[in-house]
C-alpha cells in the first residue's frame, strides 16, 4: 500500500498531462478541428491549412504528447527511486500489444517489452476498446498489480 501514491503519480503522468493526451493516445483522436471550438480554431488561423497539413499537425500532436508523457513518467519513476520510495525492479512500464477491451479471469497480457503476464484474480471487467494502452506494473507485498490506462487495475503474475 505504501506504493499507492507512486502508482497514482505515474498513472497521471502517463494519462492526463495534457487535455488532449487521452485523444492523442487513442486511435480515435478527432484532430485539431474537432478538438477545438470553432472560435479557437478560427482564432488560431488553422482553417488556412490544407487537409494534408492538418493531418500532419494532428500526427505531430499525437507524437509530441506521447513523447512528453513518456518523459514525464520516466522522471516520476526516477524521482521515486531516488527518494527510495521504490526500486527499479518494483516498477515496470510498457504497453499492451494490440487492443484492450478488458479481462475475463484468465487473461494473458502480452506487453511491448516482450513480457507476458497472466491475470491472477478471478475478476471479469469489460472496457471500451483502447488500442495498445500504457501499463504500469507495481510489485507490492503480495505480488504485482497492473495499472492499465483506461482499464483500471488487476493483480497479475509473470508468465515470461
Q: Tell the burial category of 134 from Cβ atoms under 10 Å away from its Cβ (0-12, 13-18, 19+).
A: buried
The model's confidence at residue 91, banded by pLDDT at 50, 70 and 90, is confident
Dist CA 69 CA 39 (whole Å): 28
Q: For the CA atoms of 32, 34, 35, 39, what is the dihedral angle to 10 degrees?
A: 90
Give, rounded to a whole angstrom, the gap between the first and last alpha carbons of the chain. Answer: 25
pLDDT digits (tens, 9 = 90+) for 103-126: 998 899 999 999 999 999 888 888
Over residues 145-157, the pLDDT tens digits come to: 889 887 788 899 9
Q: Mean pLDDT over residues 39-52, rounded?
A: 89
Residue reference for cell 485523444: 23
Of residues 93 and 160, the one with the higher pLDDT is: 93
Amino acid at each position: 500500500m505504501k506504493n499507492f501514491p507512486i502508482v497514482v503519480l505515474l498513472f497521471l503522468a502517463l494519462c492526463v498531462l495534457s487535455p488532449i493526451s487521452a485523444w492523442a493516445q487513442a486511435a480515435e483522436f478527432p484532430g485539431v478541428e474537432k478538438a477545438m471550438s470553432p472560435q479557437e480554431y478560427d482564432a488560431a488561423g488553422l482553417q488556412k491549412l490544407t487537409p494534408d497539413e492538418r493531418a500532419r499537425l494532428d500526427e505531430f500532436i499525437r507524437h509530441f504528447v506521447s513523447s512528453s508523457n513518456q518523459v514525464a513518467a520516466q522522471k516520476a519513476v526516477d524521482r521515486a527511486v531516488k527518494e527510495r520510495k521504490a526500486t527499479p525492479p518494483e516498477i515496470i512500464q510498457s504497453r499492451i500489444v494490440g487492443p484492450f477491451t478488458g479481462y475475463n479471469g484468465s487473461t494473458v497480457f502480452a506487453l511491448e517489452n516482450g513480457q507476458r503476464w497472466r491475470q491472477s484474480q478471478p475478476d471479469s471487467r469489460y472496457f471500451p476498446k483502447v488500442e495498445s494502452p500504457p501499463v504500469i506494473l507495481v510489485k507490492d507485498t503480495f505480488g504485482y498489480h497492473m495499472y492499465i490506462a483506461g482499464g483500471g487495475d488487476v493483480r497479475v503474475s509473470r508468465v515470461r
